[in-house]
Structure 1
Amino acid sequence: MREVTIYTDGACSGNPGPGGWGAVLMYGEHLKEISGGEKTTTNNQMELQAVIEALKLLKYPCKVDVYSDSAYVINCFKGRWYVNWEKNGWVNSKKEPVSNKEQWMELLKLFRQHKITWHKVKGHAGNKWNERCDELARGAVPR
């Protein structure tokens, strides 16, 4: 399997408000930066979208290391929250509908195509690629 490293970040001006996402993909000597934004969104939606858009670029099943400063994204996979969400009809442990269900469903479809290891990084702590994703995300916020 090809080995890919992905860093992602989301940003939002207001929550909800205009937001952006950014990702950096690395494969061997290749590096690709992507970003996008929405006029009305939330920070969590942008964090999810960054991972979704990065994984959508992979043409083959890959071994992927995903780095994010989003506890929302990382904890879902490390804690396997999605297992109970799916089993319980997309209702969370508080018996409420899961927020951002459509994005989670899309991300889970992509997740299952790859072998992904999830890594939590501390935001705004000097990690070169996390900082770059933050720049990309903030730069993609619609003005």
Structure 2
Amino acid sequence: MNLEPSDPEPLKDVTIYTDGACSGNPGPGGWGATLVYGTPPDTITRDLKGAEPETTNNRMELTAAAEALEALQEPCRVRLHSDSAYLINAFKDRWMDGWVRRGWKKADKKPVLNRDLWERLMAQDERHDVAWVKVKGHAGVPLNEHVDGLAVGAMRTMMAER
């Protein structure tokens, strides 16, 4: 009888594209995300979207990423693509390490905006093996254009229902 612990299952690879949109800043906003798992012809794709009546573009960008990562039911190896330099650079350059060290203050001593979302994202960055990938917005990248459409569509639907 083998009492050695079994090797852990390898992490699943997931590709995520996220985007946020806002009409006015602040103003009504929307977010969208697409999660892609598997390889063709067995690819599984899931779209997520939502909207808020009074928000900022940065909040929608961060919300899209947080919602997408939180939707994963188990730890995964993730390539998260966004056109938000704010989001991508914060993780690539580890801005949050300084924020936490300074008690959630920026270098200029002002409070970090969107702390609630950064904390959600940091928890997910710990849970998953995330590669943060910057893509150029509105440059014809198909999945980036798709999530932009999800975000704008969610915002417009919410505005029409008000």
TM-score by length of 1: 0.99
Which residue matches 2:33?
23
TM-score by length of 2: 0.87
Instruction: Confirm whether residue 69 of structure 1 aligns to residue 83 of structure 2.
Output: yes
Which residue matches 2:22?
12
Structure 2: distance between partners of 1:15 and 1:2: 37
Higher RCO (CA < 8 A, seq sep 6+): 1
Q: Which runs of 5+ in 2 are unaligned?
A: 1-10
State, as a whole percentage, how many aligned pairs show the same letter: 53
Structure 1: distance between partners of 2:72 and 2:48: 13
How far did residue 86 of structure 1 move? 0.9
Structure number with greater Rg is 2
Write the deviation string for residues 37-78 of structure 1: whole angstroms up to 9, x where unpaired. 000000000000000100011111110000000000001001
Q: Equivalent residue of 1:37, what SS?
A: strand
Q: Equivalent residue of 2:145, what SS?
A: helix
Which residue matches 1:52?
66
Superposed, 1:1-143 pairs within 5 Å as 1-28=11-38, 29-141=43-155, 142-143=158-159
Write the deviation string for residues 78-135 of structure 1: whole angstroms up to 9, x where unpaired. 1100111111110011111000011111111111101000100000000000000000
Q: What residue identity is the alignment partner of 1:81?
A: W
Structure 1: distance between partners of 2:80 and 2:119: 18
Q: Could you say what the CA RMSD is over the residues aligned between the two structures, in angstroms?
A: 0.5
Q: What residue identity is the alignment partner of 2:14?
A: V
Equivalences, count: 143
Q: Equivalent residue of 1:97, what SS?
A: coil
